[in-house]
Amino acid sequence: MNKIRQILRLYDQGKSKLTIAAYLDISRTTVRKYITSLENCGLSEREVDSLSDSELDELFGKIKDKPRYESQKMLALQRCFPKMERELKRTGVTKGLLWEDYIKEFPDGYKYTQFCKHFTDWQAKVNPTMHRTHKVGDKLFVDFAGEKLSYTDKATGEVVSVEVFVAILGASQLTYVEAVPSQQKEDFISACENTLHFLGGAPSAIVPDNLKAAVTKSHRYEPTLNQAFEDFAQHYDTVVLPARAYKPRDKALVEGAVRIIYTRLYVPIRQKQYSSLSELNVAIREYLALHNNQLLKGRTYSRRMQFEEIERKELKALPIDRFELKQTFHAKVNKDSHILLGPDRHYYSVPVRFLSKKVKIIYSNSIVEIFSKFERIAIHKRSKVPHAYTTNNSHLSSSHRYSAERTPETFMERAEAIGEDVVFVIKSILDSQRHEDQKIKSCEAILSLVRKYGAERLCGACRRAMDFGIDTKVFRTIESILENNLDGQRENVFSTELDMPSHHNIRGENYYK
């Protein structure tokens, strides 16, 4: 604006256009345009000089807008841009390949550097983007690569295709890659968990795509999360912020990371064969380490260096226990006070008062929890033995509990509470070859005598009964000893020599000499 005012003042002083152009170091054509505009606007030089800069700009603004002449070469290039944008979304397509196709069609076209510059300028105009600076420890972007990897099964020779999971931290751009069997919930959550342990901490938020393993119903503002993935996030004290559907720029970092691993991981990995998923992941980790330790373009640090310096300490500490994926199952309590967990075909007990009630079962790899109307009524360790029973005796009725508690262990515990002699008798019965029911009846009968005769007398009776040996009628023997008050006496089983009585009919030893 200052130069425009000087042009007008010098012209008002009678200076020629050539002199004004030389004095202000601008072209004579520009001077002529401003003077012509002044003469056509109907205002005097003083009136124009009194205008503010914004008013002056509005008055002479059109003069600065030079009509741009687009060459035929530029117009031909611009016609290629929409197709190029679509092609670049395909796996493996680069600007270098597109330029080679372009130069074949237009041999006199732009060189590669100008080709890329004009394409970038065109993209900025038709589809502008916003640069975003990511806070350290804030977001972890996760996604699956579009291209799969594979390994060859040793046993069958079958080529097995696997999905490739990719995660990247926003600030440091530290990247994690893992091959998993599928995009199902179990594999997705396992990969996310492995990522957190690879990082050594949890970010404030995880940003996934709208895949079913993470989001059951997409929404611009309040998407419905998969319950299992939400439980996973709560376990690691983080939140889930799904990207908007069909908005890849919401997770541009991970999209860029996928494109990079196509070159740095896929190319060398596909040059070898692997016989298992674990072997494939070992190779991925080797090339991933090289990727994370490689210096960033135009910088003196790598992703790993940047992570260790600024982001590791900002991540949240991980809990001691790893997350266990929970599943849900519904069942009805049977008349024997047990429910059937269908996937394992295993039975678990519940309190007897819930007979015939419908219950909800939430189970993980190690725990089975049973709920009735939001109340947890039972918890068991998970067992995958089919058609077997896991029973908590406190859940049973009194009669069933009594029957269930008649085990060798409980008999031995009851005997130990009475005395060592009773323990010996009970152990001898349990170790015998008799039928299990016979053992249970004998043990129960002997131990029940303590209520009538007391512990001291029962010990004495067992001690005396041991002198006669433990046979199938040991209970009768002990009961007889107690009834006849013989529990305080013992048979002299250790005496092998008896005194010979004196009698006149007995010849004696001297008779045979």
Nearest-angstrom CA–CA distance, 124 and 81: 12
> Cα dihedral sign for 207, 212, 214, 218?
positive
Q: What is the pLDDT, as a whole number, of residue 513?
A: 56
Task: Tell me the per-residue pLDDT of 243-285, one tens digit each, with 9 for 90 and over.
Answer: 876 566 656 778 888 888 998 899 899 999 999 999 999 999 9
| Average pLDDT value over all residues in the chain | 82
* Residue 58 pLDDT level (bands cut at 50, 70, 90): low
The residues with which 316 forms a beta bridge, in sequence order, are 202
Asked if pLDDT for residue 382 goes beyond 80, the answer is yes
CA dihedral of residues 172, 178, 183, 185 (deg, nearest 10): -80
Asked if pLDDT for residue 404 goes beyond 50, the answer is yes
Q: What is the DSSP letter of 355?
A: T
Cβ atoms 277, 162 nearer than 8 A: yes
Cβ atoms 387, 345 nearer than 8 A: yes
> Cα dihedral sign for 181, 184, 188, 190?
negative
Segment 28-48 shows an average pLDDT of 74
Task: Tell me the per-residue pLDDT of 197-228, one tens digit each, with 9 for 90 and over.
Answer: 999 999 999 998 888 877 888 777 778 888 88
Segment 14-32 shows an average pLDDT of 80
Task: Tell me the per-residue pLDDT of 309-368, one tens digit each, with 9 for 90 and over.
Answer: 888 888 999 999 888 888 889 999 988 889 999 888 999 999 988 888 899 998 888 889
Task: Tell me the per-residue pLDDT of 327-337, one tens digit each, with 9 for 90 and over.
Answer: 889 999 988 88
Reduce the DSSP state of residue 327 to 3 states and report it: strand
Concatenated DSSP letters of 140-198: EEEEE-SS-EEEE-TTT-PEEEEEEEEEEETTT--EEEEEES-SSHHHHHHHHHHHHHH
What is the pTM for the complete model shown?
Answer: 0.55
Residue from 37, 38, 9 nearest 23 by CA: 9
Segment 119-140 shows an average pLDDT of 73
Nearest-angstrom CA–CA distance, 410 and 264: 65
Q: What is the pLDDT, as a whole number, of residue 495?
A: 45
Reduce the DSSP state of residue 437 to 3 states and report it: helix
Cβ atoms 192, 184 nearer than 8 A: no
Nearest-angstrom CA–CA distance, 179 and 175: 14
Q: What is the pLDDT, as a whole number, of residue 369?
A: 93
The residues near 397 (Cβ < 8 Å, ≥ 6 apart) are 337, 352
- In the chain, the amino acid numbered 117 is K
Cβ atoms 370, 357 nearer than 8 A: no
